[in-house]
Amino acid sequence: MSASDILLEAKGLSAGYGAAQILHDLNLQVRRGEVVALMGRNGAGKSTTLKALIGLVARRHGQVSFMGHDLTPLEPHHAARWGLGYVPEDRRIFTDLTVLQNLQVGQQKARQWPDGTPAPHWTVDAVFELFPNLGEMPQRPGGQMSGGEQQMLSIGRALMTHPDLIVLDEATEGLAPLIVNEIWNVITNIRDSGIATLIVDRDYRRVLAHSDQAIVLQKGLVALAGPSSQVAVDNTLPKLLGV
């Protein structure tokens, strides 16, 4: 891949909350169609990294660019407008809106790649095909759904923005095994559609098996990085993850 394939890039990214410095000089790249795993123990800085990339952390330093746009001084809605989809750990669906309304809220215009070719395009019907459970309950309020159904809806809403890159924070946390399998199948389908993915998940074996590159954080610093196949067999990985 060439430099023009880079969708998201962070250089010297640092971030924190109040007086606490969480992230230190992170360098990161996600390329077109690539799946990148972000790993580490609890408190290593994974969620802070995702929030800092998008602009959800007020105190951040360094540079973040997406699709050639400098995100560093901008609010999160600019990233979303340019095709950066975000599925937060706590899902953040609208509980008073129906499934259909939640999806429609996220809908944006179709996109093109910089070379003029169409980017992946999602419709309500396409989301319902990906998540048949949602298709059976279009009028159900979000607050009356199970945790797994809400997670599907959160992913579906992010897809309705027609993202070039989707960021998934703990996509399978706390879900039943059958739902977990379904979410991983969906992640594979998302990748096959051409959308790049940056993912945090506690099942390190599975996330390594589904990703191209992996970054392991320790106390807000990059402790290990490289192709997922190499990271998976690195003898320092168990210690870094505490497994």
**In the chain, count of helices (H) and strands (E)?**
10, 10
Tell me what percent of the residues of the chain surpass a pLDDT of 90.
Answer: 74
Residue 2 has pLDDT above 60, yes or no: no
Q: Give tens-digit pLDDT for 63-100.
A: 999 998 999 999 999 998 889 999 998 888 999 999 99
For 130, phi then psi, to 5°, come to: -70, -40
Say if residue 60 is exposed, middle or buried (CB neighbours under 10 Å; 0-12, 13-18, 19+): buried
pLDDT band at 6 (very low <50, low <70, confident <90, very high): very high
Distance CA 39, CA 46 (A): 7
User: What domains does the chain contain, in order, with CATH numbers?
Assistant: 3-241 (3.40.50.300)
Q: Give tens-digit pLDDT for 93-113.
A: 999 999 999 999 988 888 877
- Whether the CB-CB separation of 180 and 202 falls below 8 Å is answered with no
Mean pLDDT in residue range 233-237: 97
Mean pLDDT in residue range 116-144: 92
- Owner of token pair 């996330």: 207
Note the pLDDT of residue 109.
84
